[in-house]
Amino acid sequence: MAVRGVSLLTRLPICAQRSQVLRPIHRLLSGPGTVASDPRREEQSLGIAETGSEDRTPKKRFSEVQKERREQAQRTVLILCPNKISEKKFLKYLSQHGPINNHFFFESFGLYAVVEFCQKESVASLQSVTRTLSMGTEAVIPFRSRFFNLKLKTPSSQTSEQSCIPCRNQSPPSSKKLFELLCNAESVDDQLNTLLKEFQLTEENAKLRYLTCSLIEDIAAAYFPSCEVRPFGSSVNGFGKLGCDLDMLLDLDEIRKSSAHKTSGNFLMEFQVKNVASERIATQKILSVIGECLEHFGPGCVGVQKILNARCPLVRFSHQASGFQCDLTANNRIALKSSELLYIYSALDSRVRALVFSIRCWARAHSLTSSIPGAWITNFSLTMMVIFFLQRRSPPVLPTLDYLKTLADAEDKCIIEGHNCTFICDLNRIKPSENTETLELLLKEFFEYFGNFAFNKNSINIRQGREQNKPESSPLHIQNPFETSLNISKNVSQSQLQKFVDLARESAWILHQEDKDHPSPSSNQPWGLAALLLPSVTNSMSHAKKKRKKPASERVKNLLESIKNSSTENSTNISGKRTVSTQA
């Protein structure tokens, strides 16, 4: 669900009280969640740097990023502010409790401020002077959180000092705006990087996601004092776009770790606990209680649904202040490990995120994906397909999971519920790819590769990076990288897969035609990626398929084959080796 009407304005840190020139800050995510002080370095890590350039900046481990962000969130507060407020007086008031590292405002259902103190003790100091809101005749549940409501004793005294603060929109761009940006780009590579820049999570949005998790953790800690609530999935794996859901993991393993091997002399002390029949039942009971707490005691938590009989039990709710649609699961550590793997793939090469974002946008434009559960291809499946395709290039753009496993050392070893989830965690020890293909070529070859992929007999496997015989009869089979017996695309129907194949062939044909016709980027006609986002010719012909001897997909395939055959010699001379490896 998209974030509703969220926009942000950023302010510089005041912790160090330095005098510096104020200028607009475009703080983008350097990888998922890391704070970058150098805008140029941030752009390089986002794939905005020139394709094929090597970023020699040391890259942080996934665990380091999570720890850093978590500590940052623990000294941060969320405040609902009056619409008319003096920012100067507001910061001066808060500074009584300690120096402020940075802050920003955003608009959702009101004006909110996210304020990060330099020290965690400042939050406790602010809480100590905060009173419980009086609701008149209604009763109040006195829950002390880090979500505050600021009121002005004399509103008129600050009105004259209030200046109009421009808000930066944090929703994805409109279709019209996106087409303008794409049509004004200089090249197809520039188009893909522009789309990435417009859709990726901002620095402020990432902070807000970690803060939301931290606020939920405060509630869960009432029952489980040493628990952690961590974001996983799109919010942290490098492939999250503005408006994506916030997936949370209630991690109780830290409690078990902290209480293990604590002995004194000949005595061993254990907590008295209740036992249940299985881990699943325990998870259901825990989430049921946490769901009740969120519904009755959680400030800003609305629309709470307890979906406990799903394969992975969860609690779904909306966090009204941030605008995030949230899914809370418990002890789903394989999902967190999958997020780490995708984080590594997203950070290894500057082209990966740009290609994934563009393929996802293309799929959504043609209704191949949907926010409603059903027979559609999911974004996760599309990401796996892009990674697999990049593993098949010659030379490969990305390594296989099995290769990452061979690089792992003892501290990387990870077995979860009997599944081997081991791979190297230090990105700096992975050798960069020698592949120098452009994004334009990779986009074209992606459509061509999957437009002719033998889905009827082969499966996709990023662990080995090669096509394998399908172990089941599902139309699309993409092996779960860790739970290898599972098919992550089992929900996809034959009709939806055929629609994907038809559109992939059509998109490849469009890009090949542009190579032949050499359209001018300065023309008013959509070109490159913009042309691929237009309504499909294949779909418009679908009603007339029965009247024709060949379906549209076959005609597009034949056209594509004829173009390939006629241009093979010329293509090889210009680009050298750029074929897809078909040998295991």
- Which of 32-36, 192-196, 412-416 has the lowest average pLDDT? 32-36
Q: What angle do CA 526, 530, 536 make, to 5 degrees?
A: 90
Confidence (pLDDT) at 565:
56
Please determine, for residue 292, whether its predicted confidence score (pLDDT) is greater than 90: yes
233 secondary structure, DSSP code: G
Query: Are the CB atoms for 81 and 111 separated by under 8 Å?
Result: yes
Find which of 157-161, 169-173, 525-529, 551-555 is predicted with most confidence, using mean pLDDT.
525-529
Helix and strand counts by DSSP (H, E) for the chain: 19, 17
Confidence (pLDDT) at 49:
36
**Residue with the larger pLDDT of the pair 438 and 551:** 438
- Residue 265, C-beta contacts closer than 8 angstroms, at least 6 positions apart: none
Give me the mean pLDDT over the 112-137 stretch: 88
Cis before 395 (ω within 30): yes
Q: pLDDT band for position 197 (50/70/90)?
A: very high
Query: Are the CB atoms for 448 and 435 separated by under 8 Å?
Result: no
Measured over the CA atoms of residue 391, residue 395, residue 398 and residue 400, the dihedral's sign is: positive
Confidence (pLDDT) at 19:
33
- Residue 14, C-beta contacts closer than 8 angstroms, at least 6 positions apart: 91, 95, 99, 100, 102, 103
pLDDT tens for 48-92 read 333 444 556 788 999 999 999 999 999 999 999 988 888 888 999
Confidence (pLDDT) at 169:
62
User: Which has the closest alpha carbon to 293: 250, 337, 247?
Assistant: 250
Confidence (pLDDT) at 4:
41
Confidence (pLDDT) at 419:
94
| Extended beta strands in 433-500, E state | 458-459, 468-469
Q: pLDDT band for position 523 (50/70/90)?
A: low
Please determine, for residue 319, whether its predicted confidence score (pLDDT) is greater than 90: yes
Torsion angle in degrees (nearest 10) through CA of 407, 411, 417, 419 = 10
Query: Are the CB atoms for 276 and 282 separated by under 8 Å?
Result: yes
Query: Are the CB atoms for 348 and 375 separated by under 8 Å?
Result: no
Q: pLDDT band for position 23 (50/70/90)?
A: very low
User: Which has the closest alpha carbon to 481: 296, 273, 334, 303?
Assistant: 334
* Start-to-end CA span in the chain (Å): 40
Give Dmax (Cα) for the chain: 86
Q: For residues 128 and 440, what is the distance between their CA atoms, to the nearest angstrom?
A: 57
Please determine, for residue 339, whether its predicted confidence score (pLDDT) is greater than 50: yes
Confidence (pLDDT) at 265:
73
Please determine, for residue 569, whether its predicted confidence score (pLDDT) is greater than 70: no
**Given the structure tokens 């959509």, which residue do they identify?**
526
Confidence (pLDDT) at 576:
39
Confidence (pLDDT) at 158:
53
Confidence (pLDDT) at 535:
85
Give me the mean pLDDT over the 99-118 stretch: 92
406 burial (CB, 10 Å; 0-12 / 13-18 / 19+) is exposed
**What mean pLDDT is reported for the chain?**
82
- Residue 278, C-beta contacts closer than 8 angstroms, at least 6 positions apart: none
pLDDT tens for 408-455 read 999 999 999 999 999 999 999 999 999 999 999 999 999 999 999 999
User: Which has the closest alpha carbon to 340: 435, 430, 423?
Assistant: 423
Integer angstrom CA distances of residue 69 from 30, 51, 231, 423: 13, 29, 10, 23
How many CB atoms within 10 Å of residue 139?
A: 6
Q: For residues 550 and 69, what is the distance between their CA atoms, to the nearest angstrom?
A: 56
Q: For residues 530 and 191, what is the distance between their CA atoms, to the nearest angstrom?
A: 8
Q: What is the radius of gyration, based on Cα positions, of the chain?
A: 26
> What is the pTM for the complete model shown?
0.82
Task: Give kind and range of the element (H or E) at residue 246.
Answer: strand 246-251
Please determine, for residue 287, whether its predicted confidence score (pLDDT) is greater than 90: yes
**Given the structure tokens 């779909």, which residue do they identify?**
539
Q: pLDDT band for position 271 (50/70/90)?
A: confident
Confidence (pLDDT) at 266:
82
Q: pLDDT band for position 35 (50/70/90)?
A: very low
Q: pLDDT band for position 149 (50/70/90)?
A: very high
Q: For residues 382 and 489, what is the distance between their CA atoms, to the nearest angstrom?
A: 10
Task: Name residue 515's amino acid.
Answer: D
Q: pLDDT band for position 578 (50/70/90)?
A: very low
